[in-house]
Amino acid sequence: MSHDAQGGAGGVLDADEPAWSEEEDDRTAEALRWLREKRKAHRRQKGRDVAVLVYSVVLLGGAYGGGYTVDFLRRIRLGADYSAVGAHVQGALPALFTLLTAALALLAARDALWRGPVVVPAPSVGWLLTHPVRRAVVLRPWFWLSAGVSAATALVAACAAAVVLRVLGLASLGGALLALLPAAVCLPLLAVAAGMAVEHRAGLARFVRRFSPLAVVVLMLLAGQTAAAAYGHRSAVVEQVELWSGPWGWAAQPVVSATGGHAPGRPAAVVLLVLLTAAGLVRGHRDAALVPTAQLRRRAATAQTVSSVMYSAELRAAKLALMDAAADGPGAGRTRRVRLPRPRSKYLVVVWRDLLSLLRTPARPAKALMWLACATAVAALGVQFSGAARVIGLVAALLLGYVAVAALAEPARLETDDVRRAAWSPFRFRTLMLQHAVVPAVLGALLALLAAVPFAAAGEPWALVLMPACAVPFAATAVFSASRGPARLELMFSGVTTPMGDLGPLRFFAWYAAGPLVSVGVLGVVLYGVLRRAPDAGSVAVAAVVAAALTAGLLFFAARAADRLVRPGS
């Protein structure tokens, strides 16, 4: 039996796959030729669909968005001339470039946990790979397709970035394009190669799962450094360490040099980047043929589910599909077996279950803590400004705070994924959902109180009341959003035509994000009024009362929405 009989040109067979001999049983060319013939009409129709999509994007981007783009670039150039925007961007560029490229690497690694560069359609996995064909011939084209699409997208982004650098007066258009070319070509190819390694190796997938929170913390620190550098607080030592810390820094050096920064070793950095990219592509080319069929089958089913539910705007269904894929994927960890004393009162059962759920999945509280840290940093930065900048910072901090508290409300969302699960509860469904707001409200308020301590130490004691007060309506908002029910796609079409088009998508967005829009909007208006002057006891008390009233209103509508889930006619 030949070497390829073990898996088809270096592939690895699953336990349920028969071995075959390449010399006697190879039907690769015949099968692929038959498939090309049978799929000819489908490919032709798919090509038309892609052409229409590209035409629509170009038409909208050129005709509709062209005027806005020109106006945006004109405003940037005026800002660069009169507000030193170019100087701010130049100062922040080393940290900013490192932040963006490191985030790209993390996204590629996380994407490979459920999808990866090699995602074969379900029919091909279920039929083609079960026949005596060489796996490398079937799987490797998908790897190179992912690499080509990523590189093409990066080249378009590089052209846009070059135009921005030219408008800011930091570099000529040709010089900016030439400086961005190594990053635009090598970084997406490296990201695809990294994704291929994670997709193929369970040990590496386990490493990515374990250290993703640490990587997010590093990205948060880079974001803080970027903001500080934009306002003149730079560290030459830290920037040089970043520029030589890996391919994200190597790719940044030509851009830093082209914009007037200090990067004397950029030729060596580019050589290292090219060599690492070539090595990654060679390794990825080999790994592409080694993904087991069972894993390809799971990934194809997950990708098909995610793409189908995205068309119906059911983002929760897409998230559930990703969660299931992460639980069954390579390197998946075990659920922690944590126990808590059982409550003696039935009114504490829901709280007990929610606490137990969070303790057994520590990633949720960790995620809440991470988003709260981001909200605190944004709030600390926003209070230093005035006017529109303060409003933007306040709204961003409130949104991040809502995301933090909503991460603690996952048990409420699990309850509404299938209302039949509530059969265990001795309460009515509306009462059950209201009780799900207790744990995120209490834990969110405690975390917000800890986040307010630095503000109080800096002479702003009002934060000890206002920040925990915001966590309570956010918990009610999360329960209301969980009780929202299936997406109402009929709202996408209003039948009212305006110069901006149909207003249906805006109606659908307003319905879909009603809870966060109301809570963030009301709290933003109230807090801006408090912070506009020196906060006193009266204004802080008014803000707390508004937060309590907002919580009561959101819980009322959450109870009504919960009733509609179990009694659609109500």
Residue 310 scores a pLDDT above 80: no
pLDDT on residue 15? 46
Question: Alpha-carbon dihedral of residues 171, 177, 180, 186, nearest 10 degrees?
Answer: -170
User: Dihedral sign, CA of 40, 43, 49, 54?
Assistant: negative
Residues sharing a CB contact under 8 Å with residue 359, sequence separation 6 or more, in sequence order: 336, 338, 340
Q: Residue 449: what pLDDT?
A: 92
pLDDT tens digit string along 481-491? 988 877 776 66
Phi-psi region of 9 (alpha: psi -120 to 50; beta: other; left: phi over 0): left
Q: Which residue has the higher pLDDT, 169 or 466?
A: 466
Residue 454's nearest CA partner among 350, 380, 372, 402 is 380
* 373 pLDDT tier (thresholds 50, 70, 90): confident
Instruction: Identify which has the larger pLDDT, 521 or 292.
Output: 521
Kind and range of the H or E run holding 501: strand 501-502
The mean pLDDT of the chain is 81
What pLDDT sits at residue 326? Answer: 65
Task: Count CB-CB contacts under 10 A for residue 534.
Answer: 9
Average confidence (pLDDT) over 101-124: 86
Q: Which of 132-144 are b and which e, b meaning 16 or more Cβ less than 10 Å from the residue's Cβ? A: bbbbbbbbbebbb
Q: What is the pLDDT of residue 7?
A: 43
Between CA 133 and CA 549 the distance in angstroms is 66
Enter the pTM of the model: 0.75
Give the model's confidence band at 332: pLDDT under 50 very low, under 70 low, under 90 confident, else very high: low
201: tokens are 């190796």
Alpha carbon separation from 489 to 70, 182, 313, 506 (Å, rounded): 34, 44, 8, 12
Nearest Cα residue to 405 out of 452, 437, 450: 437
Output the pLDDT for position 189.
94
Distance CA 439, CA 354 (A): 7
pLDDT tens-digit profile of 197-242?
A: 998 888 888 888 888 888 888 888 888 888 888 877 888 888 888 8
Looking at residue 3, its pLDDT comes to 39
- The DSSP letter of residue 10 is T
Q: How far apart are CA 516 and CA 330, in angstroms?
A: 35
Nearest CA to 468 out of 508, 421, 523 is that of: 523
Residue with tokens 């009233």: 549
Least confident of 21-25, 123-127, 507-511: 21-25
